[in-house]
Amino acid sequence: MNAAVKVQIVRPNPPDWQHWLAQFFAFSPGDVGSVRVFFAPGRVNLLGEHTDYNGGYVLPAALEMGTWVAVRPRLDGRLRFQSALFPGQDVTAVAASLTYRPEDGFANYPKGVAWAMREWLTQQGVVATANLPGADMMFYGDLPNSAGLSSSASIELATAAALNGLWELNSAAVDLALLSQRAENEFVGVQCGIMDQFSIAVGEANQALSLDCSTLNYRLVPVVLQDHLLVIANTHKPRDLAESKYNERRRECNQALAQLQRVRPQLRHLAEITPEQWPDLTTALNHPVLLRRARHVVFESHRAKMAPILLARGDLVAFGKQMNESHHSLRDDYEVTGPELDALAEAAWGAPGCLGSRMTGAGFGGCTVSLVQNSEVDGFIQQVSRVYQERVGWKPSFYLSGIGPGAREITNEVKLQWQF
Ligand code: GLA
């Protein structure tokens, strides 16, 4: 029997309010009453990977981990950003002329959201954007970066919620999600789909989001895990190629769609194809790679669409099997896993108490999510950590986070814990 190895287990870790708000007041001296605090979670996707930009179903859930932002209006129209996570970085921008600058690092995300929000308001003709106040914004977060838990979308939605409050816009959560996605697509330049921003905007505690990405119709689905937990594990693989590979997959899907449209001119998205229709369509695809990519999308979207039925029935065993199927398909057909994610998932499949495990997010590194029996969690983590380290050469980390509510103002909650 192996001795227990030391494993990093991370739980939701909100800011130390005294310390963080002291940092905020050093950065933005002034009246205590005008400070407000907002939070936006990260997300874990339970099923439906690489289906959002193919008009398919996804089943993500908001986490209890995320991004906090303390904010105070400024009268000079400027936006100023600091983060407790990146000491020394202090970015000031003129709200009326925001541009992406690589040297601004994390601040490009809130800048992008402010840009997208002003564009959106101008299009709506709702307010004269010239009159909007600027803001001092201080961030903190407990999500790992580049790990597939949507730390970027979390910063975006924390900013969107804060500006929504500060500018008294009363915008719907769905609009905040859409303009945050626009910030990421057009300002930051990453071609993500809508899943991350949407789930972070509308998420609710203990519920997953069943979202049809072709219509944006959604419903919240109770996730009753009985005596099980979600265990997230981080490969710690550097994700250098992730963005170019993600764009490559999007191009391949577009090619597959174009070929299928020759025989089905009405087809708008790959995920519109049902598993029953699929066998008759395969001959329309002229390359085995395109066939595999399209097959993943068809069956993955179907899994995500049907899984709420399994959750409603409380059939976690069947749900776990769907998670495993999803990983197989992402590994063999979509080819976005890689040795590290495969090592983590395979280690999980062989570990005690595990009903299912799969990669979550874009892939090419990042995290897996596993459904694990409560009483076996310690043994599960020990075994997965050991097997992964033997195969890959370094240790994974583990995150134990419940499913929490979406982006929101938390000023009153913070005030109860800290006397403003
Ligand atoms: C990233 C993107 C999402 C989605 C997933 C893959 O997280 O931001 O839009 O495409 O990858 O499912």
pLDDT 10s digits, 24-62? 999 999 988 999 999 999 999 999 999 999 999 999 999
Beta bridge partners of 358: 369
Total residues found in the chain within this entry = 420
pLDDT reported for residue 124: 84
Residue 1's pLDDT band, with cuts at 50, 70 and 90, is very low
Residues with CB under 6 A from ligand 1: 49-50, 52-53, 192-193, 195-196, 361-362
Is the predicted pLDDT of residue 240 greater than 90, yes or no?
Answer: no
Q: What is the DSSP letter of 408?
A: E
Q: Which protein residue has the closest C-alpha to ligand 1 atom 1? A: 362
What average pLDDT score do residues 275-291 get?
98
CA dihedral 387, 383, 369, 304 (to 10 degrees): 90
pTM exceeds 0.95:
yes
Q: Which atom of ligand 1 is nearest to the CA of 246?
A: 11
Strands across the sheet containing 207-212: 57-58, 207-212, 217-222
Average pLDDT of the chain?
95
Phi/psi of residue 382, nearest 5 degrees: -60, -50
With contact defined as beta carbons under 8 Å apart, do 329 and 6 qualify?
Answer: no
Strand 408-409: give its sheet, edge to edge.
91-94, 78-83, 134-141, 60-74, 36-45, 408-409
Instruction: State the catalytic residue, choosing from 136, 142, 196, 342.
Output: 196
379 CA distance to ligand 1 middle (Å) = 31
What does the pLDDT read at residue 159? 98
* pLDDT, average across residues 206-214: 98
**Residue owning tokens 């062989």:** 350
What does the pLDDT read at residue 4?
60
Distance 39 CA to ligand 1 centre (A): 21
Annotated active-site residue 240? The verdict is: no
Average pLDDT for 129-137: 88
Cα separation, 358 vs 182, in Å, equals: 28
> Which atom of ligand 1 lies nearest, measured to the CA of 49?
12
Are β-strands 397-399 and 8-10 bridged in parallel, bridged antiparallel, or unpaired?
A: parallel
276/248 Cα distance (integer angstroms): 27
Mean per-residue pLDDT, 193-202: 98
- Ligand 1 centre to CA of 389 (Å) is 27
Q: Which of 192, 245, 300 to mutate to test the pocket of ligand 1 (most atoms within 8 A of CB)?
A: 192
**What is the distance between the alpha carbons of residues 52 and 29, in angstroms, rounded to a whole number?**
43
Distant-in-sequence, close-in-space partners of 191: CB < 8 Å, separation ≥ 6: 53, 185, 246, 247, 250
Look at the block and give the residue holding tokens 């310690």: 378
Which atom in ligand 1 lies closest to the alpha carbon of residue 153? 8
Which of 263-270's residues contact partners 24+ apart within 8 Å by CB, and which partners? Answer: 268/55, 268/214, 269/54, 269/55, 269/56, 269/214, 270/54, 270/55, 270/56, 270/294, 270/297, 270/298
| pLDDT higher than threshold 90 for residue 287 | yes
The arithmetic mean of pLDDT across residues 374-397, rounded, is 98
CA 417 to centroid of ligand 1, rounded, Å: 35
Distance 75 CA to ligand 1 centre (A): 37
Distance CA 398, CA 347 (A): 13
Q: Which of 59, 157, 195, 199 to mutate to test the pocket of ligand 1 (most atoms within 8 A of CB)?
A: 195
**What domains sit in the chain, N to C, each tagged with a CATH number?**
13-48+56-221+405-415 (3.30.230.10), 228-399 (3.30.70.890)
